Amino acid sequence: MSRPVIITCALTGGADSAGASPHIPVTPEQIAREALAARQAGAAIVHIHVRHPETGKPSRDPALYREVVRLIRAANSDVLINLTTGPGAGFHPGEDPNVNAVSRGMATPEERVAHVLELKPDICSLDVATMNFGPRAFVNVPAHLERMAEMIRASGSKPELEVFDLGHARLAADMAKRGLFEAPPWFQLCLGIPWGAPATPEAMLALKALVPEGAVWSGFGISRMQFPMVAQAVILGGHVRVGLEDNLYIARGQLSPGNAPLVERAVTIVEALGERVATPAEARELLRLRPQ
């Protein structure tokens, strides 16, 4: 018997990547349009960051999240909405190592989940990670994670626990053991991000071994490892993520013209491996999401 595999599509991301591809959605209208196209292609969940409409730079503006969610819901789509809470954890040391060189690079836990408390998405990310993240530090200390987890739980949203390395998985498992998340906890294994675990079968296996019994897990790789990690996650019994946040290309040297082609490629891989693509209703049941 085949099993349903959840496909998440990460639509635009929080990196300064809009200049690298003309197909990165920037405005709320573009992001919502990409969400609906990803759903049509087979994604059950869309993972959403927002960007300054004029510059394409990453943003934390609640009004932008509000408009993206409004447009998706107005379309009466059944796609599950997953809002990021990652922005606000970036530390860039300056001349004084105690001062963040980037204005408003760090935010309080309350600020980082304010849009989740207001909009009550089905899911939101929770980055269980303090690490070197490219040129900056990505800082998520346990006390802040616990406060965010409590607020997310009260909102009715399901946290997607993003782990980038072995220690993150151990911390997430400990938080789950202490009852900070409603069952089943959902682990997202994030591979290939500098400087976390590499996008290799060995790394995915090592992270999967730390996922608690009864939890649901998904995995992804970035750049050219996006599709190999889709196959690896399916083979190991997990769910998958693709999208322009993680990879701009549909083939070597060929930019993907949007998120939908990446989802379609994931659908092909899932089905070629003998499984089937989960509907949003099936994803809701597997994750035991609260009714919205």
Q: For 140-189, what is each residue's pLDDT tens digit?
A: 999 999 999 999 999 999 999 999 999 999 999 999 999 999 999 999 99
Write down the pTM of the prediction: 0.95
**Long-range CB contacts for residues 74-78, cutoff 8 Å, separation at least 24:** 75/32, 75/36, 77/35, 77/36, 77/39, 78/39, 78/279, 78/280, 78/281
Amino acid at 156: G
pLDDT in tens, 69-91: 999 999 999 999 999 999 999 99
- Do 81 and 46 meet the contact criterion of CB atoms below 8 Å apart? yes
Residues of the chain above pLDDT 90, percent: 90
When the pLDDT of each residue in the chain is averaged and rounded to a whole number, the result is 96
DSSP E strand boundaries for the chain? 4-5, 7-10, 45-48, 50-51, 58-59, 80-83, 90-91, 123-127, 131-133, 136-138, 158-163, 186-191, 216-221, 239-242, 249-251, 254-255, 276-277
φ, ψ for residue 7, nearest 5 deg:
-110, 120
| Cross-strand pairs, 144 | none
The answer to whether 14 touches 138, Cβ cutoff 8 Å, is no
Model pLDDT, residue 225:
97
**Confidence band (pLDDT; 50, 70, 90) for 131?**
very high
Question: Under CATH, which number does the domain 4-287 receive?
Answer: 3.20.20.70
Query: pLDDT tens digit string along 25-34?
Result: 999 999 999 9
140 touches 128 (CB < 8 A): yes
Binned at pLDDT 50, 70 and 90, residue 261 comes out as very high
**Amino acid in the structure at residue 236:** L
What is the rounded distance in angstroms from the CA atom of residue 74 to the CA atom of residue 2? Answer: 33
